[in-house]
Structure formats: C-alpha cells, structure tokens
C-alpha cells in the first residue's frame, strides 16, 4: 500500500542552526500539506502546495521557514535559524485532488527537538 514518506524521523539540533525535512507524497497526489504538531495539540497547517505552487502559506513564519516543491513531487521544509519554540512534530500529508473533503494521507512525521 502506498504511503507518504518522510525523513528524517527524528532530528535534534541547537538553536540558530538550520534544519531541513523531506517529504515524498503518494505517487500521483497533486496536493501536499505540511503541518506542525506541538506536543499536546492538534496539527496546524503551515503550507499547502497544488503541484509546484503554494496555495496557502498564511500560517508559515516566513522570516525563518521556507518550503518548496520544485517538480511538483517531493517537498522540502526548511527552518533557518531554528528556535526553541520550533520543537514539534512536522507532518506531511498528501491528497489525490484538493477540495470536496478528500482524504489527506499522512506520513509518520519528523520529530524536531531544538536545544
């Protein structure tokens, strides 16, 4: 069964360092989402891509976060510089099409710890 892949699964870094997370969605899924899940809370959307285009990045802290999906397939989320408050689980999800309540399929996440 096809799954969303993410790497690394765990990342420990010091504050002010740069970190990057990678996501490979299910083949053929045009829509890709990055969510952040702080411990004890539900996930919150950071950015949504439709193919290679960003369609929603209203909650992305653009002074330190960036995301790209250059060929409309896999995606990278970067944080530079990392801050203590960035410690969280970063989840990637994909869906075949957007809209109409289509199911989003989630990856296993990258757990980031900033020291």
Partner 1 sequence: AQTVTQSQPEMSVQEAETVTLSCTYDTSENNYYLFWYKQPPSRQMILVIRQEAYKQQNATENRFSVNFQKAAKSFSLKISDSQLGDTAMYFCAFMKHAANFGNEKLTFGTGTRLTIIP
- Quick one: which of 4, 19, 32, 60 contacts partner 1 (CB under 8 A)? 4
- Quick one: which of 25, 29, 33, 79 contacts partner 1 (CB under 8 A)? 33
Of 36, 55, 54, 41, give the one whose Cα is nearest residue 93. 36
Q: Which stretch binds partner 1 (CB under 8 A): 11-19, 44-52, 62-70, 77-85?
A: 44-52
Residues 58-77 that bind partner 1 (CB under 8 A): none
Nearer to partner 1, 27 or 100 (CB): 100
* Beta strand pairing call for 65-68 and 110-114: unpaired
Nearer to partner 1, 81 or 108 (CB): 108
Tally Cβ neighbours within 10 Å of residue 115. Answer: 10
Residue 8 DSSP symbol: -
Distance CA 34, CA 73 (A): 14
């Amino acid at each position: 069964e096809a799954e969303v892949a993410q790497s690394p699964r765990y990342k420990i870094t010091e504050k002010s360092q740069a970190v990057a997370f990678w996501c490979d969605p299910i083949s053929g899924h045009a829509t890709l989402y990055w969510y952040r899940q702080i411990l004890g809370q539900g996930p919150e959307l950071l950015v949504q891509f439709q193919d290679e285009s960003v369609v929603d990045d209203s909650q992305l802290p653009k002074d330190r976060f960036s995301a790209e999906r250059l060929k409309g397939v896999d995606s990278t989320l970067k944080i530079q510089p990392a801050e203590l408050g960035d410690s969280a689980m970063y989840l990637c999800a994909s869906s075949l099409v957007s809209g109409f309540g289509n199911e989003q399929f989630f990856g296993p996440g990258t757990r980031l710890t900033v020291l």
